Amino acid sequence: MLKKNKTLGEFIIENQSSFQYSSGELSKLINALRLAAKVVNHEVNKAGLVDILGDAGDTNIQGESQQKLDVLANEKFIQTLKNREIVCGIASEEEDDFITINSNDENHQNKYVVLIDPLDGSSNIDVNVSVGTIFSIYRRVTPVGTPVEMKDFLQKGSEQVAAGYIVYGTSTMLVYSTGDGVNGFTLNPALGTFYLSHPNMQFPEEGKIYSVNEGNYVHFLQGVKDYIKYCQKEEGDRPYTSRYIGSLVSDFHRNMIKGGIYMYPKSSIAENGKLRLLYECNPMAYLAEQANGIASDGFGRILDIEPTELHQRVPFFCGSRKMVEKLHEFMAKNA
Q: What is the CATH number of the domain that holds 22?
A: 3.30.540.10
Does 299 lie in the same domain as 176?
no
Establish whether 280 is an annotated binding residue. Answer: yes
Does 68 lie in the same domain as 217?
no
SS3 assignment, position 125: helix
Establish whether 235 is an annotated binding residue. Answer: no
Does 179 lie in the same domain as 323?
no
Number of domains into which the chain is organized? 2
- One-letter amino acid for residue 3 of the chain: K
What is the mean pLDDT, run by run of 10 residues, along the chain of 335 residues? 78 76 76 90 66 48 62 90 88 94 70 94 75 95 93 98 93 94 94 94 98 96 98 96 95 97 95 96 98 97 98 98 98 90
Q: Cα–Cα distance between 84 and 147 in angstroms, integer?
A: 18
In this structure, the number of other CB atoms found within 10 A of the CB of residue 58 comes to: 12
Does 14 lie in the same domain as 155?
yes
The verdict on residue 204 lying in a domain is: no
Provide CB contacts within 8 A for 285, sequence distance 6+.
Answer: 157, 295, 301, 302, 303, 318
**Predicted pLDDT of residue 140:** 95
The verdict on residue 44 lying in a domain is: yes
Does 221 lie in the same domain as 136?
no
Q: 286: domain CATH number?
A: 3.40.190.80
The verdict on residue 227 lying in a domain is: yes
Establish whether 120 is an annotated binding residue. Answer: yes
Exposure string (b/e) for 76-114, b if CB count within 10 Å is 16 or more? bbbebbeebebbbbbbbbbbeebbbbbeeeeebebbbbb
Q: How many Cα atoms are found within 13 Å in the side-chain-facing hemisphere of 205? A: 0
Does 50 lie in the same domain as 102?
yes
Q: Which of 198, 223, 241 is the last residue of a domain?
A: 198
Task: Using the Cα atoms of residue 263, residue 167, residue 85 and residue 22 in order, give the sign of their dihedral.
Answer: negative
The verdict on residue 107 lying in a domain is: yes
The verdict on residue 203 lying in a domain is: no
Query: What is the residue range of 245's domain?
Result: 209-333
Does 214 lie in the same domain as 184?
no
Biggest distance spanned by C-alpha atoms of the chain: 65
Q: In this predicted model, what pLDDT tens digit does every residue of 204-258 receive, in sequence order? A: 999 999 999 999 999 999 999 999 999 999 999 999 999 999 999 999 999 999 9
Q: Cα–Cα distance between 98 and 280 in angstroms, integer?
A: 16
Establish whether 274 is an annotated binding residue. Answer: yes
Establish whether 93 is an annotated binding residue. Answer: yes
Establish whether 213 is an annotated binding residue. Answer: yes
Establish whether 3 is an annotated binding residue. Answer: no
The verdict on residue 319 lying in a domain is: yes
Establish whether 122 is an annotated binding residue. Answer: yes
**Predicted pLDDT of residue 49:** 44
Alpha-carbon distance values, 121 to 117, 130, 249, 265 (Å): 10, 8, 8, 17
Query: Which of 278, 272, 265, 332 has the alpha carbon at shortest distance from 305?
Result: 278
The verdict on residue 86 lying in a domain is: yes
Q: Which of 198, 232, 250 is the last residue of a domain?
A: 198
Q: Cα–Cα distance between 9 and 184 in angstroms, integer?
A: 13
Q: Cα–Cα distance between 219 and 269 in angstroms, integer?
A: 7
Q: In this predicted model, what pLDDT tens digit does every residue of 109-126 receive, in sequence order? A: 889 999 999 998 877 767
The verdict on residue 314 lying in a domain is: yes
Establish whether 123 is an annotated binding residue. Answer: yes
Establish whether 208 is an annotated binding residue. Answer: no
Q: Distance of alpha carbon 202 from its chain centroid, rounded? A: 16
Does 64 lie in the same domain as 153?
yes
* pTM for the predicted model, two decimal places: 0.92
Does 184 lie in the same domain as 43?
yes
Query: Which of 334, 45, 19, 13 has the alpha carbon at shortest distance from 192?
Result: 45
Does 14 lie in the same domain as 90?
yes
Establish whether 121 is an annotated binding residue. Answer: yes
**Predicted pLDDT of residue 54:** 47
Does 171 lie in the same domain as 281?
no
* Mean pLDDT over each residue of the chain, to the nearest integer: 89
**Residues in a beta bridge with 195:** 7, 186
Q: Which of 142, 177, 198 is the last residue of a domain?
A: 198
**H or E segment at 183?**
strand 183-188
Does 173 lie in the same domain as 106?
yes
Residue 275 near residue 314 (C-beta atoms within 8 A) = yes
